[in-house]
Chains A and B, each alone.
Chain A
Amino acid sequence: NAGVMQNPRHLVRRRGQEARLRCSPMKGHSHVYWYRQLPEEGLKFMVYLQKENIIDESGMPKERFSAEFPKEGPSILRIQQVVRGDSAAYFCASRGQATTDTQYFGPGTRLTVL
């Protein structure tokens, strides 16, 4: 049973480009969370999605950031017109159906904006 998969593991973008980060949850999981870890900080919640629905996006910056979790395929976190301050590690976690189920984390995507 594969764990949570994220790709790419490392992504380098120049300022103004777009970044697309992908997350495939564990098999059987339909709840996905995205977190951001800025250098030398803890993880901060960004967005919570179920299949085809955004449930809570209270942690997402209002502009340039969007997320989706389509019926088929991975969840995508999209950052348009990246700036240097977007450089961070972005982690995806998934859980099963029960609200108290443990969240399992992927290895993260480390985004560097030049």
Chain B
Amino acid sequence: GEDVEQSLFLSVREGDSSVINCTYTDSSSTYLYWYKQEPGAGLQLLTYIFSNMDMKQDQRLTVLLNKKDKHLSLRIADTQTGDSAIYFCARHAMEYGNKLVFGAGTILRVKS
């Protein structure tokens, strides 16, 4: 089974906050990432967090990491229609040549 799991769909109203959640099973990862994918496009790195941090804030984005529960979240403040996309959580698997292990993605739909 997958070791990075995400909820499949989230719908919010424009201006509200969005919270996208991710859980993982392997605690050896040093970095955890959030990528954004718009329809037909590649992956855009949004932000990442080092495993010894609890929180990282970058403008409208806040990443929270609960290492004990192996839970990662991405909060987008003041969500805009341009934020509609698929959001992927990924962990850095150093023990396997530094590949990234991705979740299946959360579709964020922002209603105006």
A55 in contact with B97 given A41-B104, A91-B42 (CB within 8 Å): yes
Contact size range, B? 20 to 34
Q: Is the CB of A44 within 8 A of B98?
A: no
Determine the main DSSP class of B at the interface with A.
strand
Q: Is the CB of B88 within 8 A of A43?
A: yes
Task: Select which of A42, A104, A106 is within 8 A of B103 by beta carbon.
Answer: A42
A100 in contact with B45 given A45-B99, A48-B97, A95-B98 (CB within 8 Å): no
Task: Give B32-74 as 1s and 0s: 1 = Cβ < 8 Å from A's Cβ atoms.
Answer: 0101000011111100100000000000000000000000000
Most buried by A among B48, B100, B103: B100
Of all chain A residues, the one with the shortest Cβ separation from B31 is A100
Q: Which of B58-108 contact A (CB under 8 A)?
A: 88, 90, 92, 94, 96-105
CB neighbours of A105 from chain B (8 A):
35, 42-45
Could you tell me the distance between the alpha carbons of A44 and B94 in the complex, rounded to whole angstroms? 16
Q: Is the CB of A99 within 8 A of B94?
A: yes
Q: Is the CB of A100 within 8 A of B42?
A: no
Cβ of B30 within 8 Å of any chain A Cβ, yes or no, is yes
Binding site for B on A (CB under 8 A): 31, 33, 35, 41-45, 48, 55-56, 58-59, 91, 93, 95, 99-100, 102-108, 110
